[in-house]
């Protein structure tokens, strides 16, 4: 007996099976390209992420600095501290963590679409001064930005930049957003608008030390310049007279070279030093640093180089820290007033 294949009004079983097979093939052919595109996009995204991370690492960043959520990272780093969010924009964020002893700034800058921790300084982070660079601005939040006495910075041409202030209750913290100049080195001086901190005050707060060493015995007299001018004005007048006698036309080429084998039974010296202000320098190549200007004099009345003065200047308004990291120094001959010798005889 022959077996017949059942059929229906719509068609045979064979027809239905054949139709289903064709439909499945069409669906598979449609889904397959979509899946391929999806897999391709995933690979592209992962590849871009890897390239970004590798790029950041080659630029000197560490994996530990990378984060998608700066606020959560600060909460972990500063657990137990009072945390306040400070100035922020689309490429910069700063958080302040207050402890009983100090205020710690945590700073993040966005690079290549990823947030990187740039402060505080540690073995993974070379940012010592507290300056971060965005696309078109530098952001300064270092030590001088925590000085309540400063209200603004002024550049070489007199242009003023006011900070973004965050009130922390006990004190105020500032962030200076400074436009970048890719061609020139620019120095910015911190200014107290009430003129409490000025050049005269910095000078009077400077230090003076009289040092006398004779036969193993040491005698020292120390004061500020202001105190010396007020209490022993004649001594300061003599020091000024000595400094003014400096013969800057004849610098001693080798400076002072002290011979260790020569006995120094008698040494008379006067040390004078004072600061000239606090500054930020921004230089081409996205480089920046903060610094304190200073001047010092070392007058040798008796010793291996009597009648000489050593001068030292730390002033990066004229040159770069990267060119002269130790500042400038020189040694000259001076005329020492007899009254200074008499004073040393008496002390």
Establish if 12 belongs to a structural domain.
no
51-61 residue pLDDT tens: 455 544 444 44
- For residue 97, give its domain range: 65-191
Establish if 312 belongs to a structural domain.
yes
Alpha-carbon span 347 to 336, nearest angstrom: 17
> Above 60 in pLDDT, residue 210?
yes
Banded pLDDT at 11 (limits 50, 70, 90)? very low
Establish if 256 belongs to a structural domain.
yes
Given this model, what pLDDT does residue 290 score? Answer: 96
> Above 60 in pLDDT, residue 95?
yes
Alpha-carbon span 118 to 135, nearest angstrom: 15
- Among 191, 208, 231, give the residue marking a domain's end: 191
Report the sign of the C-alpha dihedral through residues 59, 63, 69, 71, in that order.
Answer: negative
- Per-residue b or e along 200-233, where b marks 16 or more CB atoms closer than 10 Å to that residue's CB: eebeeebbbebbbbeeeeeeeeebebbebbeeee
> Above 50 in pLDDT, residue 13?
no
- The answer to whether residues 40 and 116 belong to one domain is no
User: How crowded is residue 308: how many other Cβ atoms within 10 Å of its Cβ?
Assistant: 20
Given this model, what pLDDT does residue 71 score? Answer: 95
- The answer to whether residues 53 and 96 belong to one domain is no
- The answer to whether residues 341 and 203 belong to one domain is yes
115 strand-pairing partners:
67, 110
Establish if 4 belongs to a structural domain.
no
- The answer to whether residues 129 and 215 belong to one domain is no
Given this model, what pLDDT does residue 330 score? Answer: 95
- The answer to whether residues 172 and 310 belong to one domain is no
- The answer to whether residues 25 and 76 belong to one domain is no
- The answer to whether residues 48 and 176 belong to one domain is no
Given this model, what pLDDT does residue 9 score? Answer: 43
- Among 191, 207, 239, give the residue marking a domain's end: 191
Establish if 152 belongs to a structural domain.
yes
Establish if 171 belongs to a structural domain.
yes
- The answer to whether residues 306 and 273 belong to one domain is yes
Count of domains observed in the chain: 3
Tokens for 204? 């009077």
139-160 residue pLDDT tens: 999 999 999 999 999 998 999 9
279-305 residue pLDDT tens: 999 999 999 999 999 999 999 999 999
- Among 148, 175, 191, give the residue marking a domain's end: 191
- The answer to whether residues 175 and 210 belong to one domain is no
- The answer to whether residues 108 and 215 belong to one domain is no
- The answer to whether residues 128 and 209 belong to one domain is no
Establish if 262 belongs to a structural domain.
yes
24-75 residue pLDDT tens: 555 555 556 666 656 666 564 455 545 455 544 444 445 678 899 999 999 9
- The answer to whether residues 88 and 219 belong to one domain is no
Establish if 230 belongs to a structural domain.
yes
């Amino acid at each position: 007996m022959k077996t017949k294949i059942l059929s229906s009004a719509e068609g045979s079983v064979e027809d239905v099976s054949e139709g289903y097979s064709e439909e499945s093939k069409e669906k598979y052919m449609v889904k397959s390209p979509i899946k391929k595109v999806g897999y391709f996009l995933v690979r592209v995204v992962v590849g871009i992420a890897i390239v970004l991370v590798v790029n950041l690492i080659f630029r000197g960043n560490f994996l530990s600095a990378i984060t998608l959520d700066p606020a959560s990272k600060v909460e972990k780093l500063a657990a137990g501290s009072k945390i306040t969010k400070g100035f922020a924009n689309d490429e910069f964020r700063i958080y302040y963590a207050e402890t009983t002893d100090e205020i710690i700034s945590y700073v993040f800058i966005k690079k290549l679409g990823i947030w990187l921790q740039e402060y505080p300084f540690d073995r993974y982070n070379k940012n010592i001064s507290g300056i971060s660079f965005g696309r078109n601005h530098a952001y300064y939040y270092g030590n001088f930005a925590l000085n309540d006495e400063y209200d603004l910075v002024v550049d070489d041409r007199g242009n003023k930049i006011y900070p973004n202030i965050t009130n922390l209750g006990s004190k105020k913290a500032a962030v200076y957003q400074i436009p970048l100049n890719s061609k020139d080195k620019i120095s910015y001086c911190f200014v107290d608008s009430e003129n409490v901190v000025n050049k005269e005050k910095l000078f009077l707060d400077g230090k003076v030390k009289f040092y006398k060493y004779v036969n193993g015995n040491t005698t020292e007299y120390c004061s500020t310049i202001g105190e010396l001018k007020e209490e022993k004005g004649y001594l300061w007048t003599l020091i000024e007279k000595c400094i003014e006698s400096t013969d800057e036309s004849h610098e001693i080429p080798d400076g002072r070279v002290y011979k260790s084998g020569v006995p120094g039974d008698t040494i008379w010296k006067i040390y004078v030093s004072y600061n000239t202000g606090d500054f930020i320098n921004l230089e081409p190549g996205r480089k920046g640093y903060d610094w304190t200007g200073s001047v010092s004099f070392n007058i040798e009345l008796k010793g291996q180089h009597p009648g000489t003065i050593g001068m030292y200047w730390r002033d990066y308004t004229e040159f770069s820290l990267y060119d002269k990291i130790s500042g400038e120094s020189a040694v000259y001959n001076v005329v020492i007033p007899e009254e200074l010798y008499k004073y040393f005889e008496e002390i």
